Structure 1
């Protein structure tokens, strides 16, 4: 039945295309022979296509709220990376792996996090068409968008899949580009922060010309950006050292901040200068001189005596370390021995970017305009992290010559205490030892600064081309199918990314270097500061990863007026689209093997997906100049998408909405949209990996006794555990259970419903004033994530919660039928599934007021006042929808669960004064107060929560930043702009242990401090 249904849908599509062709061909032939023009359109009302609909918005009216940032705002902000400007606006939240502060590997991209749902859930368009994709996640890198050609940026909130297709769960960001430029424009800009004096330079050259009596235009834009980077050591102040939640004395607080952490006196109640538990040094326990912990051995009189002889009596869980010479051992302490990761880490990453963009169009006649676009970008970004370390259980010779006799005796005692065969696994190595074989196991935690900092350079090139034809077809008759317009195009994009990393460590080489070969001393002396350059080089490895992605789009549409009603014409748009996205990720063989420390192991990814779509949209006026109101209309849209994915297949998306203006001053509007997001290549085909985290098998004796119920027993037997083995140790002989994680080709689409309604006010009694207030609500179901949220949740859902052997969670578990143990090949398969849910709601406020004054130094003044604020009422994540009671209410929160701050209030305002050639503009950026989620989440769930007085940084107060810009137009050919971002040099808030990096949330708060910039533009 589904096949027949699809056939009918696409037969309808073919009929629509055939009808469009029937209209186009005669119109083209007539134009070529007679030069006639199509029937005149209604010119009484301005018609502009506004993002959110493919229909012309008559008088700039649309039922969906659109936030617009114009080219003037881009110039006034001094922004050289467009994503920074967009992230300042309230519709977007910070993203840790995004933009200038994203010192992460992999990284180097600039993506957008609309409404906080993630970059993969919004759609980026350029001139209403899809742009480049960066890799398997199929997001768009904003670095590829030419800022110099941007006319405006339009952002639409919520569920635009019916209009634009998949990915538009939270909305669409559409960059509208200049396509009629004539002349030559050259802009140079320089900026630097006032703390590190790091400079950034950009140069833009734009030139265009009309030709063939203005029937055609071609414009070319070139951009070069060179951004310097700086580390936390360069910045100092709040960025150094790494701080964590803790307790220090008021006297030691300043010393800790200065980089000299002090131990807390035993038994003392410690408060910061403000009377609250303070911040302590938050370094790593993997340290340059090594930290060593005896593994898996019971105590004995001989071991106790050996430890005492080595000066290690009373050894604690942190083990022991050495002096630089590697001879004197002592118990390791915290924070005194911990290593500060901060100094080498970049706050702002260096970037070098080249962009070349061309756009051209030519009117062949009154009915046919051909157009072409070509875009090329090369973006080179570098990341830098603290030196690698390695941690794990390693075998060492008990007679290691680098150790004192006393420490050799400690190892000898450990060797004698081994019971049975003990296995030490690191990377791809797996070695065993038995009692008395001359080998002992130590848990080793050794930082290797001898190798140098970890570095990664990403070199990404993107190419895109678009070819199309558009035009007017006239009208079939005076009564119906009038003012027809068509647009057909093909786009192809290809992105390649070569990522080169240095400073990683091979764990198998470490293990090999720790053991004697034929009686020779081991290659590695990791005790103290004794690692030679040759030894460091023997374990250091570099890696190169390669990513390639491409996207093809073939689309055709027809729009116009169906016929008239009593209130005006019915507008329609219909079309068909074909898309195919392909991507592959080829990791370095070293990373693919898992034998790595310093960078994450990775598996290869390769796959593609394609979709065929038909869509339609209509707007029906129902009221015009009536006693009931000035105007009213309803609209609807649909899209049928047929994916070549087994988990998706054919899906419908749709929207309905309307607007009503009782008088010209007031417009009421509303929209409901049902949207989907098909899984991307990475979520579908990401390489599967096997790992062994700690977990509890509910069918073993490790399950708490209170939960060893008859119901659990029945599910255990139904899933393959022999009845006699249920709740015994034989089902889980050790604490680790293997899981398979990665892509899942059967994952289904995410689905969302979006509701918006609001009011637009343009009071005639206040000329120049326009305001809008819009409510939004977005519900996302089936969010793609690891099945069950991970191995522990999957096991618990199967046996403790759902208790149905046919559930997807139970079917994810593979058992050995003889022993009942979780076994190969599936283990616990936690590959991607439609697991979670997200929900947000709030209100957008937008206001603009323009007025003139007769006063002014250059003969009068004009003032422009604008404000764009969002109040977010709810942001709720349900990690596993099968457990609906477990929710994270993250609005107004930050921390380890909720991540980047999600304030209730966020907004920007600007006041601009112009007088003749002079401009002065002040912008205010506001980020509201947030509370740490370790306090807020349990409180909202009615569970036990800590006292705020016991927390180091329970609240981040509201942050306010001010930016000042001045401009002067020397003449028509030359203009100057200068400004200061973060005028009052406000530091970001320090948040201790909750900070993902840099002691703060660098993707949310301003970490650069005061930045000055100046630019000059010359036109020829």
Structure 2
């Protein structure tokens, strides 16, 4: 596999609002909507199934739709919505409660592993609060207590709902017709008695105006306490791959793993050769640097990181509706959420170039002599003498400054007003307007100003003052652990902040009804509508972040921008046959949407489907959808920022003195290498500056989705239903950074395309000495994503005569599983790299991210007997391999080439004490199953903590009181 393939995927992951992750856990009591049938005598209520705006008398739809009922959130003890959605086979968990680094304080959902920005999240069929400038919804803002059900449609749904639905739609249907009062509380802890969670909420509502109206109010509070990686043995050390077991890993994390860490240490690490390969004792004397092995001197940063992020959330939500007359009903929704999620990392690793006074009393004689030997003409007088400093690159862990802290606070509110009703017999309308705003503040504490750090290290000969005393500089003695004074810490310590405001307004209206029976097979359904939406946001960095004067952060400009879109859409449900030989029913469906974006211009999305039931026991469905995703504010208008990734310049002499291939000479010179420099100059730094940012010329992403499936409802086996569906999603013109990143652009320009006029070569700027000055890798429509697989769902319900209470019991079995056949990406730019495929199905690792096993399933078994129900959930996650192995690397080069399959068992139950009081509780990860631990290929905490349980067994207890 070529280098540019690997770098593309990683850049794509880091560049999106959430990592493209892959994990799985199942068993949500998920029911296949389209599998539901009923006896002919049953009275149907017309309903709208997610994925369509046409009201139907049954729940049959051409696209696979899965539902998660409200009871599932209670059975799992889920206080946050993502705890349940992450276990759906169609989804891959995004950020969650263990996403400390990476993480941004949000919880997200990622259908099919195609990216959170390609999953459209709706509430009651409408757009909701955005959590960031990429338009992603934070699931923390949706109260699980108010959820009536969740409907999930996988595959494109842009023709019905507009942009962003490339991988599908997650639609939360909320309770809006509540009578009485319900107060609930829950406590959740681990078998260690730590990492507690608790919540309390109240829902009250009632009818008014003789039943013409209803109003419902919800208030909720959630508290999640922190857990550090140092609180568990298996996450106490930052593990890395090695040849032998580390004696410190006596708790058994696996062979081939050693306790590693960072080269930025509290003793100060000077890099290079001779003196430039050492650390320092507290007296300023030299200590050898030990890079590896059980006695290595690396800094173990793991204990300072959160394994469970703390969280505090206040939420209020209300709904109301009133029937004005027979044809007009007014309705409204309003909500407010205050969500605080801190993150914490080990103290700042200060990696930078500094000037050091060799005569400083901070050094012992051996260090003074070593630094004196490498003085250079730092004062510019043309002479190297005692007035000059030594220039070195240092890595110092600023433990005296305390751990780095980040506090993400999101205050959001949303109001919606609308009217619906009957416009004529058989025809209904719905008109609504919504306004949503999120104010997001990210506060950083205990960081270090780069300029002050550099200034304070260059001290006078007696060490009592800075060589540059401006700004109240205090000498900084970094040479040895614990040597920094509080006054010096106060001088270099800085807090930083960035503030983001996001506003969304949405107006939509549509009518739906029947055009009559054209074919004798049933009424033709039609829905027509219009929609207008505007998104605007503004991000402001403070002076430290904007200038890049915070160690560990690169400079970045503010991001501000907006766009709007006008839509016209329509759907048609056309029955073709009914109750004839070979066709109990046959129906076609069509949908189309025309969108005019102020940025991407005019685009079309459309869909066509067919459902056919040859007999009552079985039906088949097929669907094709063309979906689009217009670029978001961050992708379009992201402020220019710089970064310094590792990269190799093909035009430079290697560190071993090997000159580049002479065939590159003309191309290197055409891209800025001066005459006489080719084959002479060496690459100055292992890192090359990249310029990242938005691109207002971006166009829409496009996806083609095919689904084929069957629904089984055998009369011979009452209570049994099953669905099997094949899906295939191809996304083209996917938005990534140009070329996938700095190194990839250099590689493709000089080794693949070799055309000075290509966008890759045009992105490179060089200095007068021949070295690359920077590579401009703005967002571009360059990628393609593909995924393919099969979903299987089975449900069976039966009554038995036995149980704990009189009256017999009901047994319910719900199985849902996924087989991933392909999950790949292709780097494309005008077809130049179209054959360079990277496979991410059945893999994990640096390139592809979280595990995406080939097989995964969930089986929930529930017994309901009188006032009690007991439920056992079996979540199975299949095995997966290191992505580089799947794509051609030798497995022998990896300590942990494969993750084994894992099973998790959850036991829960409810008991209705009386009509007023219900108690419930359960145990998650009943067997306290630990993850298989990783070194180099981990995400964080020596594993993938949003996929595998790294915290251990959890016990939860709760109750509800109804009035």
Q: Structure 2 length normalisation: TM-score?
A: 0.90
Match of 1:666 in 2: 618
Aligned pairs for 1:198-237 within 5 A: 198-234=195-231, 236-237=232-233
Q: Structure 2 CA distance, aligned partners of 1:105 and 1:192? A: 24
CA RMSD of aligned residues (A): 2.5
Q: Structure 1 CA distance, aligned partners of 2:515 and 2:579? A: 21
1:838 aligns with 2:785: yes
1:248 aligns with 2:247: no
Q: Structure 2 CA distance, aligned partners of 1:85 and 1:600? A: 36
State the 1:667 CA deviation: 0.9
Q: Structure 2 CA distance, aligned partners of 1:600 and 1:1008? A: 33
Q: Which has the higher contact order (CA 8 A, sep 6+)?
A: 2
2:544 to 590, 603, 611: 590
1:334 to 276, 292, 302: 292
Q: Structure 1 CA distance, aligned partners of 2:584 and 2:685? A: 75
Alpha-carbon spacing, 1:282–1:316, altered in 2? closer, same or farther (3 Å): farther
Match of 1:553 in 2: 506
Larger displacement relative to structure 2 (525-534 or 487-496):
525-534
Q: Structure 2 CA distance, aligned partners of 1:665 and 1:643? A: 45
Residues 289 and 526 of structure 1 are in contact (CA less than 8 Å); yes or no, is this contact kept in structure 2?
yes
Q: Structure 2 CA distance, aligned partners of 1:109 and 1:694? A: 29
How big is each residue's C-alpha offset from its partner over 1:335-371, in whole Å with a ceiling of 9 and x where there is no partner? Answer: 4211111111110011111110001111111110111
Match of 1:325 in 2: 283
Q: Secondary structure at the match of 1:869?
A: strand
Match of 2:926 in 1: 983
State the 1:750 CA deviation: 1.2
Match of 2:30 in 1: none
Match of 1:289 in 2: 267
How big is each residue's C-alpha offset from its partner over 1:488-519, in whole Å with a ceiling of 9 and x where there is no partner? Answer: 10011000112211111112111111112596
State the 1:858 CA deviation: 2.5
Residues 54 and 163 of structure 1 are in contact (CA less than 8 Å); yes or no, is this contact kept in structure 2?
yes
Q: Structure 2 CA distance, aligned partners of 1:545 and 1:508? A: 20
Aligned pairs for 1:715-794 within 5 A: 724=675, 727=678, 729=680, 737-794=688-745
State the 1:812 CA deviation: 2.8
Match of 2:28 in 1: none
Residues 316 and 331 of structure 1 are in contact (CA less than 8 Å); yes or no, is this contact kept in structure 2?
no
Q: Secondary structure at the match of 1:358?
A: strand
Residues 285 and 367 of structure 2 are in contact (CA less than 8 Å); yes or no, is this contact kept in structure 1?
no
Q: Structure 1 CA distance, aligned partners of 2:685 and 2:185? A: 64
Q: Secondary structure at the match of 2:797?
A: strand
Aligned pairs for 1:204-603 within 5 A: 204-234=201-231, 236-248=232-244, 253=247, 255-257=248-250, 277-294=255-272, 315=274, 319-335=277-293, 336-415=296-375, 418=376, 435-436=384-385, 437-475=387-425, 483-517=426-460, 521=464, 522=466, 523-529=475-481, 530-566=483-519, 567-599=521-553, 601-603=555-557
Residues 786 and 832 of structure 1 are in contact (CA less than 8 Å); yes or no, is this contact kept in structure 2?
yes
1:917 to 860, 867, 870: 867
State the 1:713 CA deviation: 5.4
Match of 2:181 in 1: 184
Q: Structure 1 CA distance, aligned partners of 2:79 and 2:764? A: 51
State the 1:903 CA deviation: 0.5
Residues 264 and 396 of structure 2 are in contact (CA less than 8 Å); yes or no, is this contact kept in structure 1?
yes
Q: Secondary structure at the match of 1:49?
A: coil
State the 1:691 CA deviation: 4.2
How big is each residue's C-alpha offset from its partner over 1:27-73, in whole Å with a ceiling of 9 and x where there is no partner? Answer: xxxxxxxxxxxxxxx99654211111111243110101011100011
State the 1:716 CA deviation: 5.4
Q: Structure 1 CA distance, aligned partners of 2:138 and 2:873? A: 27
State the 1:795 CA deviation: 3.1
Q: Structure 2 CA distance, aligned partners of 1:662 and 1:473? A: 36
Residues 105 and 456 of structure 1 are in contact (CA less than 8 Å); yes or no, is this contact kept in structure 2?
no
Q: Structure 2 CA distance, aligned partners of 1:792 and 1:1012? A: 48
Q: Structure 2 CA distance, aligned partners of 1:388 and 1:324? A: 19
Residues 238 and 987 of structure 1 are in contact (CA less than 8 Å); yes or no, is this contact kept in structure 2?
no
Alpha-carbon spacing, 1:512–1:222, altered in 2? closer, same or farther (3 Å): same
2:806 to 843, 851, 858: 858
Match of 1:1017 in 2: 960
How big is each residue's C-alpha offset from its partner over 1:960-1003, in whole Å with a ceiling of 9 and x where there is no partner? Answer: 11111121111111111111111111112211221121111101
Q: Structure 2 CA distance, aligned partners of 1:967 and 1:600? A: 52
State the 1:576 CA deviation: 0.7
Alpha-carbon spacing, 1:720–1:994, altered in 2? closer, same or farther (3 Å): closer
Alpha-carbon spacing, 1:636–1:364, altered in 2? closer, same or farther (3 Å): same
How big is each residue's C-alpha offset from its partner over 1:95-136, in whole Å with a ceiling of 9 and x where there is no partner? Answer: 3xx111011376111111111111111000000000000121
1:959 aligns with 2:956: no
Match of 2:32 in 1: none
Q: Secondary structure at the match of 1:233?
A: helix
How big is each residue's C-alpha offset from its partner over 1:830-887, in whole Å with a ceiling of 9 and x where there is no partner? Answer: 1111122211110111111111122232211111110111111111122445312322
Alpha-carbon spacing, 1:179–1:291, altered in 2? closer, same or farther (3 Å): same
State the 1:329 CA deviation: 3.6
How big is each residue's C-alpha offset from its partner over 1:441-486, in whole Å with a ceiling of 9 and x where there is no partner? Answer: 12211111111111111121110000101111124xxxxxxx1111
1:946 aligns with 2:890: yes
Q: Secondary structure at the match of 1:992?
A: coil
Alpha-carbon spacing, 1:280–1:715, altered in 2? closer, same or farther (3 Å): closer
Residues 351 and 381 of structure 1 are in contact (CA less than 8 Å); yes or no, is this contact kept in structure 2?
yes
Alpha-carbon spacing, 1:618–1:708, altered in 2? closer, same or farther (3 Å): farther
State the 1:727 CA deviation: 3.5
Q: Structure 1 CA distance, aligned partners of 2:808 and 2:419? A: 46
Q: Structure 1 length normalisation: TM-score?
A: 0.85
Q: Secondary structure at the match of 2:367?
A: helix
Match of 1:170 in 2: 167
Alpha-carbon spacing, 1:980–1:739, altered in 2? closer, same or farther (3 Å): closer
1:1008 aligns with 2:931: no
Q: Structure 2 CA distance, aligned partners of 1:714 and 1:516? A: 48
Q: Structure 1 CA distance, aligned partners of 2:54 and 2:822? A: 32
Q: Unmatched 5+ residue regions in structure 1?
A: 1-41, 259-271, 296-314, 424-430, 476-482, 939-944
Q: Structure 2 CA distance, aligned partners of 1:907 and 1:652? A: 36
Match of 1:312 in 2: none
Alpha-carbon spacing, 1:74–1:452, altered in 2? closer, same or farther (3 Å): same
Q: Secondary structure at the match of 2:97?
A: helix
Match of 1:308 in 2: none
State the 1:407 CA deviation: 2.0
Residues 93 and 108 of structure 2 are in contact (CA less than 8 Å); yes or no, is this contact kept in structure 1?
no
State the 1:734 CA deviation: 7.2
Match of 1:13 in 2: none
1:889 aligns with 2:839: yes
Alpha-carbon spacing, 1:737–1:450, altered in 2? closer, same or farther (3 Å): closer
Q: Structure 2 CA distance, aligned partners of 1:331 and 1:588? A: 37
Residues 433 and 440 of structure 1 are in contact (CA less than 8 Å); yes or no, is this contact kept in structure 2?
no
Alpha-carbon spacing, 1:984–1:332, altered in 2? closer, same or farther (3 Å): closer
Give aligned pairs, total: 904
Q: Unmatched 5+ residue regions in structure 2?
A: 1-40, 467-474
Q: Structure 1 CA distance, aligned partners of 2:956 and 2:382? A: 64
Q: Secondary structure at the match of 2:91?
A: coil
Q: Structure 2 CA distance, aligned partners of 1:190 and 1:526? A: 45
1:996 aligns with 2:942: no
